[in-house]
Chains A and B, each alone.
Chain A
């Protein structure tokens, strides 16, 4: 029996920064990450020398790693992390940074996820993604994540009765949210009919189920609440957080993620139920995985995702505000930054700094991450519950 997880009490998350995305960029990852760092430092009103912790996530930083960036950026941190977990990196980085500031290993940790997108860089990433992918996934049609999620979607649709309309409802609501979000790359409204008429990419996945790879960066700062108060910056509290890798490895095909292992602890540690949540930011590189997150995080039972979608509305004014900036599907997928997009948006929403439509009266938000299709399934899952100061 393992001991109970220590509380995240006293941890503050502040300075939500998005470096506006670009479809393609001739600037390297170092530029995007450096710009995000500058944004956080300005937001906090501190000097670079005050940053004593740095956490970096990026797919396109090679040959650099986080340590190279300390010299590039003129930092001398006493705590440094590099997190190569794709869509789970933001939450994994948050959890580690939270423990660092709780334990005094660092005072202010800046967590940055950023990538460039140059001609060919997405193809390079797919070709070299992982050993199992190189041996047993990529050589089978070289469809990348579109093909991987197409297989999971095909299976989920047949087993649980999800329809294209169900997925379309999520995509259409996210596009509606994105129209108010200034950094979204997708700026045109999307109707359900347009969604349904999208061209096939990898059956049953169509154009509007897929994210647009782009360049961009997301960042936030983690510190103790006392530090945030001393800096006089708005911040959110970390109520609970979970992380799991390679869960349910004997499932023949992925129909659930690691959240299902740990979600009870997520809620109990926070001392709240799902009814207390004002919005949810899922990891949404394809709508099927958002639906699985609704199930595996406890909003409905396994297989009830399609019905849950039919029962709710998902815009910022809806019954279940979801991916309030438009998510990756409408903002774009800036590589590893996709794993921090929902987290940074949640911090903005809970600190009254929404760039798009605010969720009225939001006090508690759930953020979820998912990453790394190493072979046939995503291996990393993570989630956190965040609350406004005093909640």
Chain B
């Protein structure tokens, strides 16, 4: 029996150029976008400041087809980097995208040389966007891949902090997480007594535990550490919800803990449907989950990465 997910102290290599920051923004939203030149239409990779074909500076992040051919594969068994030393051996390859660029990518275990593949952008545990090659067709056990698990959030065996759990979807999502195998779900609520009354009706799962909001306001880090939290999920309705989630993001990234923002649609959407959509997105590693198009009002067109929208993480 698994007692928890693989945990790593070291951080993946985190230094990136300013342009490459766009990969992280696209990845967080579950998009596969690269810069496309507005003058000659060339797709750019690695990210550039001017077009690698015509030198135009009009490079706009655009959703592009994700298909490609796996041209070469290696299994890296030796590295001086502490993060990958813990994870070794680690498999990477070169995938030639149908739309042009060749991409060095993390490989799903079932991708081999000569195969077709789908490239995706995932967020790594330092918050950067990285290329991950998936098999061209969906496999039933796709999430079982050891490398993919570093970038996605399968609730199985995880200890999850659920912020804003007193919102209408909270209890439904918590139960779904428990059903999906989460080891513990800590429901952070503003008023524990009130919440306890609300949640009386359901058959309580022993995985669920209520945590008063004040407790984390005074010592979030301590609580996260004491409870061995792997994952934080924040239910977002208002800008205050988003601000408090974003306030934690940097600190959590330093602990290799991912925060998933679930932007909630209008309250009349069935809680069941919202929770299902949220869990699907977690399993794909999408950090900003706009259920049914919710939450768009928080996004601003990005000046730094034309074509992408983002909210200010540091608000």
Contact = CB atoms under 8 A, between A and B. Distances in A.
Interface stretch (A4-12, A142-150, A304-312, A327-335): A142-150
Contact of B92 (A140, A144, A200): A140
Contacts of B3: none
Interface residues of B, number: 42
B80 A122 contact: yes
Contacts of A143: 74, 76, 78-79, 84, 90, 92
A139 B12 contact: yes
A123 interface: yes
B80 A126 contact: yes
Contacts, number: 120
A141 B73 CA distance: 12
A142 B83 contact: yes
Interface stretch (B100-108, B135-143, B175-183, B251-259): B100-108
Interface stretch (A34-42, A127-135, A315-323): A127-135
A128 B15 CA distance: 9
B104 A135 contact: no
A142 B46 contact: no
B85 to A, nearest CB: 8
A140 B105 contact: yes
Contact of B77 (A122, A126, A138, A202): A202
Contacts of B96: 252-253
B13 A151 contact: no
A167 to B, nearest CB: 15
B15 A134 contact: yes
Given A147-B74, A154-B72, A203-B74, A139 B130 contact: yes
Interface string B11-49: 011011101100000000000000000000000011100
A339 to B, nearest CB: 22
Nearest to B96: A252
B13 A138 contact: yes
Max chain B Cβ within 10 angstroms of own Cβ: one of A131, A137, A253:
A131
B246 interface: no
B111 to A, nearest CB: 13
A152 B72 contact: yes
Nearest to B15: A134
Contact of B78 (A146, A249, A375): A146
A225 interface: no
A132 B46 CA distance: 6
Nearest to A156: B72
Given A142-B83, A146-B78, A201-B78, A134 B72 contact: no
B16 to A, nearest CB: 5
Contact of A140 (B69, B72, B77, B130): B130
A355 interface: no
A204 B130 CA distance: 24
A131 B17 contact: yes
Contacts of B47: 135-136
A115 interface: no
11 contacts: A139-B124, A141-B91, A142-B84, A143-B90, A144-B80, A146-B78, A147-B74, A151-B92, A154-B72, A202-B75, A203-B77
Given A141-B76, A252-B102, 18 more contacts: A127-B13, A135-B16, A135-B19, A136-B45, A136-B104, A139-B13, A141-B84, A141-B90, A141-B106, A142-B79, A144-B79, A146-B76, A146-B78, A150-B76, A158-B114, A202-B75, A252-B94, A376-B104
Please provide the 6 A-B residue pairs with the shortest distance between their CB atoms, ordered closest to farther: A142-B81, A150-B74, A136-B46, A143-B76, A141-B76, A135-B20
